[in-house]
């Protein structure tokens, strides 16, 4: 057999095709998540997948810049595919500064990253997320995290935890230890804390210039604790930060059960644009990282020249679908109409159109299959009713309807179906 070689039959590396059942599962997830965002008063936005490379690169950090799909168009413009929705939305805000703030937006969109593909890691994937733009209030932090928890629950995640940190707390800690100038190394090390043994994490810090003593202190302070315990730690680090944090915890407590949350200084998150609270959600028996977000009070100024505080989160949709076991949704055909005789075609079409008007999905046989093949075919594609229109039946003015689930057959007057 000739045709394309196998590797060209498959999608481009890191990308995937969505067969109907999978696509219906994706759409169901889209409906569920969108309706949660809508209930919280968020409205949906979309932007082009292609952005000016400069816009994408502005606040991405080198690691993310390396992952940008970059190209020049025929006019020589330097362009790239969006790697998240936060940056495009920041750009949209920059020329819509008269929008009444706070702005509450959500998205369910494709993003692209030239990542190393592996299980749960694609180069083209969907993100669902929200942005709350124009508020510095700790209530805004609590609202967005509440919305993240509500999204996970609506998606069917019964087991999840949201780990919360505040980059300012980490910075205060570093300041108190005289290690602020080694912030990058510390962030890199903390980011690995859940995956690597203690010595290796400390090693990343010391080889980045942090003293052994400070690295150990940082490691030990960055252990998991309750949000209430964190308030005390933050108070000791910085009075004002501690007070703001206490308020945030109070607001969050009012909205969501506290056992869903942990304070964890090792949650620093990769993207360079975070400035305050950061958080990450883990779901299921394997604690799959399905999403995260945080406050990015400086990002909008980079694009608009105006300081506008904001925060948001993004959920990796494919990951969440995997975590909650939503992989495919069957959508059987309602009616398949088979005619034994070409003369009956007009009756078949009239009946099909009638049923379609009532909202049913209907297929009329194309005349290439015998009855045995049709039976096999309708079962394979998933069908509820097979309608048989034969000459004898037509003379009697009836059709046969076979319920393929119940395996029953009834005769129904055609006039009753058409009226
Ligand atoms: P981030 O924008 O990096 O914070 O990512 C938010 C979420 O998107 C992550 O928690 C993942 O669930 C998902 N995600 C990130 N990168 C990928 C990828 N390459 N493939 C699939 N999902 C991803």
Query: What DSSP string runs through 323-379?
Result: HHT-------EEEEEEESSGGGHHHHHHHHHHHHHTT--EEE--S---HHHHHHHHH
Q: How far is the CA of 245 from the centre of ligand 1 (A)?
A: 27
pLDDT of residue 271: 62
Topology (CATH level 3) of domain 12-324: BirA Bifunctional Protein; domain 2 (3.30.930)
Ligand 1 atom closest to the Cα of residue 290 is 12
CA separation for the pair 378, 357 (Å, rounded): 22
Number of residues in the chain:
419
Name the residue with the closest Cα to ligand 1, atom 13.
Answer: 316
143 in ligand 1 pocket by Cβ < 6 Å? no
Q: Per-domain residue ranges for the chain?
A: 12-324, 333-418
CA separation for the pair 223, 218 (Å, rounded): 9
This prediction has a pTM of 0.93
Quick: pLDDT tens for 108-125. Answer: 999 999 999 999 899 999
pLDDT of residue 346: 93
Q: How far is the CA of 16 from the centre of ligand 1 (A)?
A: 15
CA angle 63, 65, 71 (to 5 degrees): 150
127 in ligand 1 pocket by Cβ < 6 Å? yes
290 in ligand 1 pocket by Cβ < 6 Å? yes
In CATH terms, the superfamily for domain 333-418 is: Anticodon-binding domain (3.40.50.800)
Name the residue with the closest Cα to ligand 1, atom 6.
Answer: 291
Tokens read off for 316: 């990796």
pLDDT of residue 291: 96
Tokens read off for 246: 């206490």
pLDDT of residue 285: 87
292 in ligand 1 pocket by Cβ < 6 Å? yes
pLDDT of residue 155: 98
115 in ligand 1 pocket by Cβ < 6 Å? yes
Tell me which residues of the chain have a pLDDT lower than 50.
none
Burial label for 21, CB within 10 Å (0-12, 13-18, 19+), is middle
Name the residue with the closest Cα to ligand 1, atom 16.
Answer: 121
Return all residues near 373 (Cβ < 8 A) that are at least 6 apart. Answer: none
Q: How far is the CA of 224 from the centre of ligand 1 (A)?
A: 23
Q: How far is the CA of 291 from the centre of ligand 1 (A)?
A: 7
CA separation for the pair 337, 388 (Å, rounded): 6
């Amino acid at each position: 057999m000739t045709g394309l070689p196998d590797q060209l039959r498959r999608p481009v590396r890191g990308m995937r095709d969505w067969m109907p059942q999978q696509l219906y599962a994706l759409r169901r997830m889209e409906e569920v998540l969108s309706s949660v965002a809508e209930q919280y008063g968020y409205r949906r936005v979309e932007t082009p997948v292609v952005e000016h490379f400069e816009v994408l690169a502005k606040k991405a950090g080198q690691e993310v810049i390396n992952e940008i799909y970059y190209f020049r168009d025929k006019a020589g413009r330097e362009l790239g595919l969006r790697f998240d929705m936060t940056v495009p939305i920041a750009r949209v805000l920059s020329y819509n500064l008269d929008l009444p703030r706070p702005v509450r937006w959500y998205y369910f969109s494709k993003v692209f990253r030239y990542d190393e593909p592996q299980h749960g890691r694609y180069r083209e994937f969907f993100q669902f997320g929200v942005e709350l733009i124009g508020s510095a209030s700790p209530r805004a932090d609590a609202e967005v995290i509440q919305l993240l928890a509500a999204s996970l629950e609506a998606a069917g995640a019964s087991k999840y935890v949201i780990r919360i940190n505040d980059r300012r707390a980490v910075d205060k800690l570093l300041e108190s230890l005289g290690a602020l100038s080694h912030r990058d190394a510390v962030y890199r090390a903390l980011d690995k804390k859940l995956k690597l043994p203690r010595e290796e994490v400390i090693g990343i810090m010391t080889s980045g210039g942090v003293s052994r003593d400070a690295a150990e202190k940082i490691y030990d302070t960055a252990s998991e604790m309750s949000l209430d315990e964190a308030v005390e730690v933050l108070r000791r680090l910085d009075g004002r930060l501690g007070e703001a944090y206490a308020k945030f915890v109070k607001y969050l407590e009012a909205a969501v059960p506290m056992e869903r949350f942990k304070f964890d200084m090792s949650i620093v998150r990769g993207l360079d644009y975070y400035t305050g609270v950061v958080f990450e959600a883990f779901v299921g028996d394997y604690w799959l990282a399905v999403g995260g977000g945080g406050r990015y009070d400086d990002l909008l100024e980079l694009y608009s020249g105006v300081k506008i505080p904001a925060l948001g989160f993004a959920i990796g949709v494919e990951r969440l679908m995997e975590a909650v076991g939503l992989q495919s949704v069957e959508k059987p055909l309602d009616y398949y109409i088979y005619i034994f005789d070409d003369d009956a075609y007009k009756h078949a079409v009239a009946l099909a159109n009638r049923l379609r008007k009532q909202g049913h999905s209907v297929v009329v046989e194309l005349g290439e299959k015998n009855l045995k093949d049709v039976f096999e075919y309708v079962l394979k594609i998933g069908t509820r009713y097979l309608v048989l229109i034969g000459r004898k039946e037509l003379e009697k003015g009836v059709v046969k309807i076979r319920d393929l689930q119940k395996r029953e057959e009834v005769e129904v007057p055609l006039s009753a179906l058409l009226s």
